[in-house]
Amino acid sequence: MYKVFVNDIPIILSTIKDMGDKYTSIPIKEVKFKRIIKDINKGRLLYVNLFHSKEKKLLKHLFKKLPVVTAGGGMVLNQNDEVLFIYRNGRWDLPKGKIEKEEGLEEGAIREVEEETGVKNLEVTKFLQKTYHVFQRKGKYKLKVTYWYEMKTDYTGELVPEESEGIMKVKWKDKEKAQKALKKSYANIKLLFPEELLPVYSKNGIS
């Protein structure tokens, strides 16, 4: 099963044909993806299940529906186990960005974190997961696939938001402040955090 986010509404990709009465279930091979996105954005759809009998075919068909942008990002921890957040478009987020051609995923993720935050001495400690979300550029929908890595650093210098990318703030946040920030974040970002750190309403599936 996969979740593809349109804003904070997840489109479910699964091998299950019937997800229950509240879900609109459509074979992924037949779906008009752009129409589904528009219906979600207009509030006409909240629960969508796109299914195929073979799980390995789900992403294959999804990638045929929209142009794919590959990105890399980091959940960065400092020596105090604080998490690095950025503030952009009125929400707290984690640093990420498009992977350039001929650039490795980890290499690109580190570069993007450095560019967006000013943090140095980054070391990837493990791969976390991939997230999927739909965005719009110049009137066209695209699918962003982001490879997320846990990173650590001993950097204690100045944090510098990349204002040209719309980033207004960069902050280290301890557990309590991170939990507060996640109340004003994105659903796909919340997937990266352990359950005990998530706001109560998000754990109950009402994010």
Q: Are residues 101 and 117 in the same domain?
A: yes
Q: Are residues 134 and 196 in the same domain?
A: yes
Q: Are residues 118 and 183 in the same domain?
A: yes
The model's confidence at residue 202, banded by pLDDT at 50, 70 and 90, is: very low
Q: Are residues 27 and 119 in the same domain?
A: no
Residue 10: predicted pLDDT: 94
Q: Are residues 56 and 142 in the same domain?
A: no
Q: Are residues 87 and 146 in the same domain?
A: yes
Q: Are residues 100 and 186 in the same domain?
A: yes
Residue 195: predicted pLDDT: 76
Count of domains for the chain = 2
- Tell me which of 65, 89, 114 is where a domain ends: 65
Q: Are residues 19 and 96 in the same domain?
A: no
- Tell me which of 65, 83, 100 is where a domain ends: 65
CA distance 6 to 41: 8
- Residue 192: phi and psi, rounded to 5, are -85, -15
Compute the mean pLDDT over every residue in the chain, rounded to the nearest whole number. 92
Written as six digits, the tokens of 79 are: 């020596």
Q: Are residues 8 and 51 in the same domain?
A: yes
CA distance 60 to 163: 36
Q: Are residues 58 and 39 in the same domain?
A: yes
CA distance 189 to 75: 10
Residue 44 sits in which domain range? 2-65
Residues paired with 198 in a beta bridge: none
pLDDT in tens, 87-115: 999 999 999 999 999 899 999 999 999 99
pLDDT in tens, 123-135: 999 999 999 999 9
